[in-house]
Structure 1
Amino acid sequence: MKLLNVGFGNVVVASRVVAIVSPSSAPIKRLKDSAQKQGKLIDATQGRRTRAIIVTDSDHIVLSGVQAETVAQRLGETVGDPEKDN
């Protein structure tokens, strides 16, 4: 099981990530509001501004204080390295 660092000591299981998106568009804001109403919103920003939204295969939404590009790069490093199996 590979873990993805989403910032400030918070991690997500990399294989469960479906998408990493910027929080600025209206549809993504609606997705965030919907997840909050359903109790599926996880705030991993540690009180900082939301810079990336991570969508998981269980329809959970994770808010991250790290830029979407940075999280995507970390995901690519995690998934792309067959030597790191744990």
Structure 2
Amino acid sequence: MKKGDTSPVLVNIGFGNVVASSKVVAIVTPGSAPIKRMREEAKKDRKLVDATQGRRTRSIIVTDSNHIILSALQAETITQRFLEGKSDLAEEV
């Protein structure tokens, strides 16, 4: 990215699926009851995006628009990719 470029930083969340890092509020694991309820509410409201390609859900990404994105990658892996994207931006400035 060049200085002054306002294009969004896209982060790979698995299987060629990407998400704009500026829109992500949280990355959580799917095990707890509140997260399961949040997932069901998003499905009911048609705000659930399944990016697992049929595999087991290992992390859930919450966006600022209340969309819930399911990923087959571990939350730690996605977090690391977000951090790498931020460090790449810092190096270019």
Q: Which digits, 9 at most, give the CA deviation of each residue in 1:3-29, with x for residues without a partner? A: 011001100011100000000000000
User: Which whole-Å CA distance do the structure 2 matches of 1:79 and 1:40 have between them?
Assistant: 27
Pairwise CA RMSD: 1.4
User: Which whole-Å CA distance do the structure 1 matches of 2:15 and 2:22 have between them?
Assistant: 20
Secondary structure of 2:49's partner? strand
* Larger-gyration structure (1/2): 2
- Unaligned 5+ runs, structure 2: 1-7
User: Which whole-Å CA distance do the structure 2 matches of 1:54 and 1:21 have between them?
Assistant: 6
Supply the AA of the counterpart residue of 1:39.
R
User: Which whole-Å CA distance do the structure 1 matches of 2:52 and 2:32 have between them?
Assistant: 18
Is 1:39 matched with 2:11? no
The change in CA–CA distance for 1:34 and 1:13 in structure 2 (over 3 A counts) is same
Task: Please name the residue that 2:4 is paired with.
Answer: none
Moved over 2 A (4+): none
- Is residue 35–residue 41 contact of structure 1 (8 Å, CA) maintained in 2? yes
Aligned residue-pair number: 85
- Unaligned 5+ runs, structure 1: none
User: Which whole-Å CA distance do the structure 2 matches of 1:8 and 1:84 have between them?
Assistant: 27
Q: TM-score, normalized by length of structure 1? A: 0.93
Note the C-alpha offset of 1:78: 1.2
Q: How does 1:60-79 map to 2 (within 5 A)?
A: 60-79=67-86
Q: TM-score, normalized by length of structure 2? A: 0.86
Q: Which digits, 9 at most, give the CA deviation of each residue in 1:24-69, with x for residues without a partner? A: 0000000000000000000000000000000000000000000010
Q: How does 1:2-81 map to 2 (within 5 A)?
A: 2-81=9-88
